[in-house]
Amino acid sequence: MAQEDRLFELSQKAWEFRKQNGFSKGLPDEVRRGAVELSNAGIRVVEIAKAFGVTKSAIGDWKKKFKTENSIGFKEATVVSERPAFEIKLSGEVQGCRIEITGADFSLLQRLLRKLGD
């Protein structure tokens, strides 16, 4: 619930800024950083974009600009065929800790990665 409250608070700040400065000015860094934090906390990018009146790609750009410790960068992907069914193993780091995700259903792993990456 706190994340939804934070989203509401930041969207209010964004719209107040827009009222005062118009739509041609970029949002303040405080609001942008907040959007990145919300995205890293699990709020969908579509919801954040709608609340702030920006595109999804703008939020993606902010995530690149304000890369945080919560961001996930997968560096390796291996397909292991030693078992009868294919097993896919993805390795990466989250907050300085190394993680590995293993599974047989590639589409499910893709959805998980999208959720972790948004």
The model carries a pTM of 0.54
8 A C-beta contact, residue 10 and residue 31: yes
Alpha-carbon distance 12 to 105, whole Å?
41
Same domain, 33 and 54: yes
Instruction: Give tens-digit pLDDT for 16-61.
Output: 888 888 877 788 888 898 888 888 888 888 998 888 888 899 988 8
Same domain, 9 and 49: yes
Same domain, 56 and 96: no
Same domain, 77 and 24: no
Give the structural domain span for 84.
73-117
Instruction: Give tens-digit pLDDT for 5-28.
Output: 888 888 888 888 888 888 777 888
Structural domain count, the chain? 2
